[in-house]
Amino acid sequence: KKWVYLFSEGNADMRELLGGKGANLAEMTKIGLPVPQGFTITTEACTQYYEDGREINAEIQSQINDYIAEMEKITGKKFGDKENPLLVSVRSGARASMPGMMDTILNLGLNEDVVKVLAEKSNNPRWAWDCYRRFIQMYSDVVMEVGKKYFEELIDKMKEERGVKQDVDLTAEDLHELANQFKAEYKEKLGQDFPSDPKEQLMGAIKAVFRSWDNPRANVYRRDNDIPYSWGTAVNVQSMAFGNMGDDCGTGVAFTRDPATGEKGLFGEFLTNAQGEDVVAGVRTPMHINEMEQKFPEAFKQFVDVCKTLEEHYRDMQDMEFTVEHGKLYMLQTRNGKRTAKAALKIACDLVDEGMRSEKEAVAMIDPRNLDTLLHPQFDQKALKAATPLGKGLGASPGAACGKVVFTAEDAEAWAERGEKVVLVRLETSPEDITGMKSSQGILTVRGGMTSHAAVVARGMGKCCVSGLGDIVIDEAAKKFSLGGQTFHEGDPISIDGTTGNVYAGIIPTVDAAIVGEFGRIMAWADKYRRLKVRTNADTPTDAKKARELGAEGIGLCRTEHMFFDPERIAAFREMICSDTLEEREEALAKILPYQQKDFEALYEAMEGNPVTIRFLDPPLHEFVPTEEAEIKKLADAKHKTVQEIKDIIASLHEFNPMMGHRGCRLAVTYPEIAAMQTKAVIRAAIAVKKNHPDWKLVPEIMIPLVSEDKELKFVKKTVVETADAEIKAAGSDLKYEVGTMIEIPRACVTADAIAKDADFFCFGTNDLTQMTFGFSRDDAGKFLNAYYDTKIFENDPFAKLDQVGVGKLMKMAIELGRPANKDLHIGICGEHGGDPSSVEFCDEIGLDYVSCSPFRVPVARLAAAQAAI
Ligand code: ADP
Ligand code: MG
Ligand code: MG
């Protein structure tokens, strides 16, 4: 089997095998761009490495060795050679790009002998020792997992001793000494000498890159981005281009369009006399890419041409890494650039207008998960104008974030867990901070440019970020900073604007976002190409209106129990629960009826004649009873009972397993009067609204929850139909209505043919269906799911991403049994999954008629539905 490919043997279509980076290095080679040559070890080799118990087997090792010989031929240099040594980078590169998540090692192939020759022959000892100390640093960190910080401390100490501020101010001798200190540190930490054999170094590095596929931050990133663990990473071994050989050298990163706004034009950063990650690590503040023109006119001109070629070739915005060595340009990476949701929409529309992409392609280019961020509140422009910014950094990732200041990723997580909104303020962020960044409303950093770690990761997450606010004086240890004459301590409120980079004291009010401009254009195209309808889960007129604005085509789930918790109604409902006779119960229910009717009227109004599905009471009754002494007393008085009698009733409602207890349609079986009251409310409301809007096609859909047996549905439906028909007749109306059921118990899926005969519609309640199918409750699963992720038993939370294999199979079965039994049956989904893009795609595939999701997910579902259809 072929495990290794030269760059010249691959192309962009081989991304599964070569990873994104490898495939694009091959493609750039193919179209004749200046790429330092090398080879790619396939993702299959990574999978094999894990299968072999984290070892690189003999066959793969021998192919790697063959390809080194190949590479030596191509470059005319030799590994470990003292005359003309080959130095390489060893770079990770998965199928989907995971910036900063895995590891890279530069300058591999150096040892004491080689570096001395290099120093002498190049007449550039500073460069040679700089490479060597970087290599020791990276190798120790990545391969041997000696913490980075020990080396950074040594560098800081050296800089202090020499009285210099920046790495570049250290001399050749300083760097030489640093390299010695590093090696001593290595020996002290690991009890062995730093390896000097380049082949040994190489195998170690390759192994480390494979291993980095499984590091914690990569695992978190994959889960967040739906990247399967099984893919593995490829490894690229590439000969070095040196940007750190002097002032006629440098390294940079650039985008062909602005990744924050989507604006066309070269966007990026450049550092002279620097290597690798210096630009993104924020070690020195880089210069704007356009300044490169003055320093390196030739290379710059060539680079501009390369940008044009690449953008036209890939027909998308490119994110590139390059290095200039003695004035000569080398391309090190290109990929379709990560971008904010706002930029994604603008770029997609621009590419259509520029004739590079079709509407369908434009729709397919947008990651639906990112839309979320556009729907988040924006600063109220009036309030913003009235406020005076304390300082201005770079608007690195747009959005509005307000919250309390925290200084560490751990604090951000802990505070967020307590329900606090926080803004993470750091000198600079590193990949270890990723979970803390996720928990924050926004991120503010003192150092770093537009391509710094914080900026890149924040944009990827759709988090607001202001970076490089150098005016901040921060004391991370003491958890405080000052800016614009004010001092902020942990917990102080702050607002940051990721669009302008402005930072404000206190909380600035925000307003809701709207679908306009490019967002509107893309959504209109999406609507044109999708088949699935998109409804919303809404219980209040406010939610319903919001969802309508966001494009909902109806309500797929109204949870009526939420309407019972209102203080006025809960009293009546508690009286109902504590009644002894049917009459008493009906009397209490009659008090609730007008409230429910008003609720439903408001929902119908908000939905403007679109379908509205109302689910009847679902939770167990004990969720409604009072727990406080005073409340119990009040209820006792109202019912003319003793406190003890009420307590006895409450105790009698206790259940060992309420999730599988007396709830759903079982309530309607024991208390048909509840279903009768709800039916009256649904029908009366519809008749009333129809009077005002005779042109609306108002057909209320009554949904019976938790059905597991056809006779159950028949029984409840009888009450519903009798009540509804009587109401309609009494009102002299011609109202139509439907009665359907939720499919959320495995038995309902299995017996769906029988159930379908009595149901006008099915709606998959995949929250319950998931917990009933797996047999664990979603309220308790949090305790052990993390262990399931760590052991790779699960890659995702089945409550967030539909389990297509198991739960999905039950859904398919229900559809295949249900449709032939009732040809008019319409089918939807209203679990949390209705707003998850990959689940929406599955719903399209199995032929559902609609998905229903929370209001802010509606645009996500519309786009995902279009992508499923394209
Ligand atoms: P990441 O995926 O985290 O960006 P990369 O593998 O792209 O990691 O490399 C990290 C840094 O090292 C980048 O700045 C890259 O341009 C630089 N680099 C990688 N390989 C070489 C090389 N052969 N010559 C010079 N610089 C390199
Ligand atoms: Mg890179
Ligand atoms: Mg349910």
Mutate to test the pocket of ligand 1, among 89, 239, 324, 430 (most ligand atoms within 8 A of CB): 89
Question: What's the chain's length in residues?
Answer: 870
Predicted confidence band of residue 537 (pLDDT cuts 50, 70, 90): very high
Q: Which ligand approaches the C-alpha of residue 764 most closely?
A: 3
Q: What mean pLDDT value characterizes the chain?
A: 93
CB neighbour list of residue 329: distance below 8 Å, 6 or more residues apart: 34, 299, 302, 303, 306, 322, 323
Summarised one tens digit per residue, pLDDT across range 627-672 is 889 999 999 999 999 999 999 999 999 999 888 999 999 999 999 9
Output the CA angle 789-418-493, nearest 5 degrees: 125
pLDDT value at residue 800: 87
pLDDT at 652: 92
In what helix (H) or strand (E) does residue 111 lie, and over which residues does it extend? none
Q: Residues 556-573: what's their mean pLDDT?
A: 85
- pLDDT, one tens digit per residue, over 99-157 is 778 888 999 999 999 999 889 988 999 999 999 999 999 999 999 988 888 998 999 99
Q: Which two tokens stand for residue 42?
A: 């396939």
245 lines ligand 1 (CB under 6 A): no
pLDDT, tens digit, 9 for 90 and up, residues 499-511: 889 999 999 998 8
Q: Taking the domains of the chain in order of start, what are their residue ranges?
A: 242-339, 377-511, 530-620+655-869
pLDDT one-digit tens code per residue, 345-385: 999 999 999 999 999 999 999 999 888 778 877 898 889 88
For atom 15 of ligand 1, which residue has the closest CA? 276
Q: Is the pLDDT of residue 187 over 80?
A: yes
Measure Cα distances from 775 to 46, 89, 659, 771, 780 in Å. Answer: 35, 49, 11, 5, 11
Topology of domain 242-339, per CATH?
Answer: D-amino Acid Aminotransferase; Chain A, domain 1 (3.30.470)
Tokens, residue 808? 């999905």
Fold of 377-511: Glucose Oxidase; domain 1 (3.50.30)
104 lines ligand 1 (CB under 6 A): yes
What confidence tens digit (pLDDT) does each residue in 237-266 have?
999 999 988 899 999 999 999 998 899 999
CA distance 17 to 3: 9
Q: What confidence score (pLDDT) does residue 197 get?
A: 95
Going by pLDDT thresholds of 50, 70 and 90, the confidence category of residue 282 is low
Structural Rg of the chain based on CA atoms: 32
pLDDT bucket at 269, cuts 50 / 70 / 90:
very high
Beta bridge partners of 762: 741, 827
DSSP assignment of 498-521, as one string?
A: TTT-EEEESPPPEE-----HHHHH
762-820 pLDDT, tens per residue? 999 999 999 999 999 887 887 898 899 889 899 888 998 999 999 999 999 999 999 99
Q: Is 103 in the pocket of ligand 1 (CB under 6 A)?
A: no
Is 340 a pocket residue for ligand 1 (Cβ < 6 Å)?
no
pLDDT tens digits for range 662-710 = 999 999 999 999 999 999 999 999 999 999 999 999 999 999 999 999 9
For the stretch 430-465, pLDDT in tens is 877 888 998 999 999 998 777 777 887 787 677 899
The pick from 105, 106, 237 for probing ligand 1's pocket by mutation, whose C-beta has the most ligand atoms within 8 angstroms, reads 106
Tell me the average pLDDT across 509-534.
93
CATH architecture type of domain 530-620+655-869: Alpha-Beta Barrel (3.20)
pLDDT in tens, 709-755: 999 999 999 999 999 999 999 999 999 999 999 999 999 999 999 99
Catalytically active residues are 453, 830
Q: What is the pLDDT of residue 283?
A: 67
Cα torsion angle, 860, 866, 868, 870, sign? negative
768 is in an annotated binding site: yes
